[in-house]
Amino acid sequence: MSDEGMTVENRVRGKREPMAMISRHGGLAALAVLLIFNLLVTPNFLQAQTLAVNVSQVATIALVAVGMTLVIATGGIDLSVGAVMALSGAMAPIIFTSEFAQAYPVPGLAAAFLLPLVAAFCCGMFNGALVALLGVQPIIATLIFFISGRGVAQVLTNGNLQTFTNPSFSYIGTARLLGIPVQGWLVALIAAVIWYVIRYTASGRYLLAVGGNERAARMAGVPVTRVKIMAYATCSVLSGLSGLIVVAINSASDAARIGNLMELDAIAAAVVGGAVLSGGRAPIWGAILGAVVIQLVKYTLLANGVADEIALIAKAGIIVAAVYAQQMRKG
């Protein structure tokens, strides 16, 4: 999947943004180093199972990273993604284990997917409204749900770990299609759609114009407020979906842990992928690449018995390298 993704990335970005070459190569170089290292060192790296595990894990980061890329493209940031994941992840089991869902399995299952996403959408609308209508700084506006979202999720579940057996729901976390976990295909599909929207629709143009020069965009009649709100809303919905997948993978929902520190992974993935925090660029496939790199670092260290704490330091190193590549590009 990632190979295919990068080919498209290559073509599009190469044509549109020749200046992005270096930073894109930075991400690709990191990927190459990781792959070579793993081939040489990690046992059983070239196994279908390894691919499946990694795709399964990367999907959750990638979804959020794509959403984060949209928000960063407007010049903003969304700290609430992890908390939104927890919220939607906590809601789903409550819904499909409810009496209603036991009585009517099909609408119950539909509600278990839809209601958490609606809740996530509302969080995003709230974030976007604060930023776009009230002019609150994005980092502060999204801090509200960063703090309270997980709290609400824990209140909903009384702080309990919810475990369940529900094959229909778990499908999006555990099923495979052509040997690849189904959520991998889902991410590819969503990324392709969003990439198309950015590249070929007026909304995508507007997004980049708002991030590129907000005043000029407003003067050209761009609906700046709406564009920003939609970016935050999309990011939240993708985070909510990611939360559902995490719950489905584990057949368990722990509001305290779902999406913990995801905001940092997502921002890191977006930046490694070539997003610029000042806005104006939305490299969707870059975000996927960034997510793959982040996931591979985690996996590499885990598979070789390195402690989690060290993994955090390694992630920081990657962000430093990505930012360095961006600075070089500017200079």
Partner 1 sequence: MQQLVSMRQVRKSFAGVPALRDASLEIVPGEVHALIGQNGAGKSTLIKCLTGVHRRDGGQVSLSGREFAADSPRDAQDSGIATIYQELNLVPLRSVTENIVMGAEPKNRLGLIDWPAAHRRAGEMLSRFGIDIDVRQRLGRYPAAIQQLVAIARAVSLDARLVIMDEPTSSLDDREIETLFSVVRNLRAEGISVLYVSHFLDELFQICDRVTVMRDGCTVAVREIARTDKLGLIADMLGRDRNEISASGMTALDGPRGEVGAEILSLGHVATGRSLRDASLTVRQGEIVGLGGLLGSGRTETARAIFGLDSLKHGEITLPGGGGAPRSPADAIAAGIGFVAEDRKAEGIVPDMSVRENLTLALLPRLRHAGGIDTRREREIVDHFIRALGIKLASADQPIRQLSGGNQQKVLLARWLATRPDLLILDEPTRGVDVGAKREIQAIIRDFVADGGAVLLISSEFEEIVEGADRVIVMQEGRSVSELPGEGLTESALIAAIAHVPDEVPA
**Maximum pairwise Cα distance, the chain:** 63
> Is 223 strand, coil or helix?
coil
3-state percent helix, strand, coil for the chain, nearest multiple of 5: 80, 0, 20
Residue 322 CA: distances (Å) to CA of 11, 17, 30, 272, 289: 21, 17, 9, 5, 12
Q: Which of residues 182-201 bind partner 1 (CB under 8 A)?
A: 196, 200-201
What is the nearest approach in angstroms of partner 1 to the Cβ of residue 282?
A: 12
Q: Which is nearer to partner 1, 126 or 206 (CB)?
A: 206
15 interacts with partner 1 by CB under 8 A:
yes
Burial of 29 (0-12, 13-18, 19+ CB in 10 A): middle
Which CB, 309 or 330, lies closer to partner 1? 330
| Closest separation in Å from C-beta 223 to partner 1 | 6
Phi, psi of 180 (to 5 degrees): -110, 140
Beta carbon nearer to partner 1, 217 or 237:
217
Q: For residue 331, what is the DSSP state?
A: -
Tell me the C-alpha to C-alpha distance, in Å, between residue 233 and each of 128, 130, 226, 264, 314: 7, 12, 10, 19, 31
Asked whether position 134 contacts partner 1 by CB under 8 A, the answer is: no
Q: For the window 216-255, what string marks contact with partner 1 as x by the rule CB under 8 A?
A: xxxxxxxx--------------------------------
* Contact (CB, 8 A) for 81 and 262: yes
Size, binding site for partner 1 by CB under 8 A? 23
For residues 295 and 54, is the Cβ–Cβ distance under 8 A? yes
User: Under the criterion CB under 8 A, does residue 151 sit at the interface with partner 1?
Assistant: no
The reply to whether 22 sits near partner 1 by the rule CB under 8 A is no
Site string for partner 1, 253-292 (x = CB under 8 A): ---------------------------xx-----------
Q: Does 73 bind partner 1 (CB under 8 A)?
A: no
Residues engaged in binding partner 1 (CB under 8 A): 15-16, 196, 200-202, 205-206, 208-209, 212-213, 215-223, 280-281
